[in-house]
Structure 1
């Protein structure tokens, strides 16, 4: 039985890894998870085995390591596979953003044409990694089997339209402080049911304020329940969070507050007092930008079959079998980065082969 390792540094990576874990287990493989930094203390459901420390991860000698972070320990055995922790929503400049290559990964499993083309250009230039377009495991549950939590959320709405609110933790981009009063008023009105959530890194006082809105017209969900919430909602209100792109993949309207890079598929606004009007537009099929939404969804994630995890596994096996061609030597900078990771994790033993 082949062993595979799932790696994450933040709690929000868990919904990315869980569908992949299920697909690996369905194939009869052993699956372990190693969660560090911001993800430390979290768990994936059994039968995933939790790896306690760096030495246990090295001793596991996995066939492949699937990372939902922007780095991976190079001294652990196995192919290093990048799954991405989100869509490219242009939060930062290109030099620091989605397409930064550090020489740590052997395979990039891209989400759709919008990421595949740039990464293939990088791969052709660098030569030390491969690129396969697979879709994103996190979104498999959006299109898979019935979701009990999504059904419960719809039932709580009592037949009313459902709005989801999500916000990034980046202070200069976050809508959460600015829209609190407007959202509170909408919830009090009771015309629609609200599902509220915040990025795990948001300030504790914001969590307290938004949780205080919970009642017959609103609920609050944690990051592990994000996909179910997206599936249950009809419209999303957000900012520059990558949840915008995840939600649009369902071909549903999004209302964005001061998005850093507004696009035609977004209903973007900058005055909190305009929220009611923006919601009315989003819920009106004649006014919502449905054609732009569909075009954007096809560009970033055209897969609606719930099988991205299986494609990730197939791509990894193709890499290991040599079917994707040879890998070139990793750049010198990867050695420096590897030493930094060793120092960070406190491991100076041998690299596993």
Structure 2
């Protein structure tokens, strides 16, 4: 990377943005450039900002900052905010509805591996207003350098339950009674980590299950939890991919597109048998996990943030390969103006 005194903007609407964008922030600051965070909506916990992080709620301030590029882990950013619009994604789970929807917002998609690069590259040819560069995901830069944490004072296997929040996909309601029974039986230690958007009524129910062998994890930084667990239990959550990158088995309930890298069950009654199978994985299962991880995110060098900045710098210097400008999309722009109360032309 070259030091060009670039101004970069982080456009955030959810707390998950911190864990995704901070590795990118480190790479940007190391290169002598500056960052401003634009906080949109009421879902971001601003106490999580550090004293040296520059953030604002004011879209006028963000526009006057005149960023060279804007990085977005969410799905949209208004066109009236200046700068190259860069999609870095908020998860690896390409199976979820909407992952490949083109919303006319981005100049550059920074994909994670063949599982997403191939599809977005074809979409880029069809639309011809955005580029696609495979960089890896900045959130994972620290994953492989994080160490296990001693959550429990025994050697029982650790099961991480990490369901998605989507009402159509979440396993939290269906698995509640079975997990409650297995916690009582005491054969495993349990870590339970909910998505920030999980239905609070179910969060409260699971909180009542806390015991010597069951901990509800509230920390947004999940790397230590992923490293510490022996097996994951989930459904169609994006965190499945992150866990698979560590070469460890995942049990899912009714995954939307189950593959050979998962132990997928259709009823809660199958859970204990599936967990035991995951804790004694066959060579075929481990091979399938490795193949999936390579397709999903082949980078384990902790330099995805550097690749993203290099891709952005290349476009800022040489221009996009795509020949069309971003579509105006009147309806989306109007919604953004209403949301941000911004009416200047």
SS of the residue 1:321 aligns to: helix
Secondary structure, counterpart of 2:220 in structure 1: helix
Contact 2:252 2:262 (C-alpha < 8 Å) held by counterparts = yes
Q: Secondary structure at the match of 1:39?
A: coil
**Alpha carbons of structure 1 residues 155 and 40: separation in structure 2 relative to 1, 3 Å:** closer
Cα distance in 1 for residues equivalent to 2:139 and 2:39:
17
CA-CA distance at 1:187 after TM superposition: 2.2
Counterpart CA distance in 2 for 1:303 and 1:316 is 19
**8 Å Cα contact 1:8-1:39 kept in structure 2:** no
Show structure 1 runs of 5+ residues with no match. none
Match of 1:18 among 17, 22, 45: 22
Aligned to 2:232: 236
- Cα pair 1:11 1:223 within 8 Å, conserved: no
- The equivalent of 2:71 in structure 1 is 66
Change (3 A) 1:98 1:310: same
Structure 2 Cα separation of the partners of residues 191 and 287 of structure 1? 24
* Structure 2 match to 1:172: 168
* Corresponding residue of 2:205: 209
- Deviation string 1:140-173 (CA, Å, 9 cap, x unpaired) is 12113x44xx42xx35353332211011112232
Asked whether the 8 Å contact 1:109–1:131 carries over to 2, the reply is yes
Structure 1 CA distance, aligned partners of 2:112 and 2:244?
Answer: 14
1:40 equivalent in structure 2: 44
Q: Could you state the TM-score of these two structures normalised by the residue count of structure 2?
A: 0.92
Q: Which residues in structure 2 correspond to 1:316-335 (within 5 Å)?
A: 316-322=312-318, 324-325=320-321, 327-332=323-328, 334-335=329-330
Q: Which of residues 81, 87, 91 in structure 2 aligns to 1:86?
A: 91
Preserved contact between residue 165 and residue 197 of structure 2 (Cα < 8 Å): yes
Deviation, structure 1 residue 226? 2.1
Give distance in 2, aligned partners of 1:38 and 1:253: 36
- The answer to whether structure 1 residue 305 and structure 2 residue 293 are counterparts is no
Distance change (3 Å), C-alpha of 1:157 and 1:273: farther
Q: How many residues align?
A: 340
Which residue in 2 is equivalent to 1:6? Answer: 10
Q: Paired residue for 1:119?
A: 120
Shift of 1:28: 2.5
Q: How far is the alpha carbon of 1:213 from its aligned partner?
A: 2.1
Q: Cα RMSD over matched residues?
A: 2.0
Q: 1:237 to 1:69 in 2, by over 3 A?
A: same
Deviation at 1:335, TM superposition (A): 4.0
- Structure 2 distance, partners of 1:30, 1:157, is 44
> In 1, Cα distance between the equivalents of 2:154 and 2:204?
26
The 3 A distance-change label for structure 1 pair 233 and 75 is same
2:191 corresponds to 1:191: no
Tell me the SS of whatever aligns to 2:252.
strand
Q: Deviations over 1:98-146 (max 9, x none)?
A: 11112211110001011111111111222211110000111112113x4
Q: 1:80 aligns to what SS in structure 2?
A: strand
Counterpart CA distance in 1 for 2:34 and 2:51 is 11
Q: TM-score, normalised by structure 1?
A: 0.90
| Partner secondary structure for residue 233 of structure 2 | strand
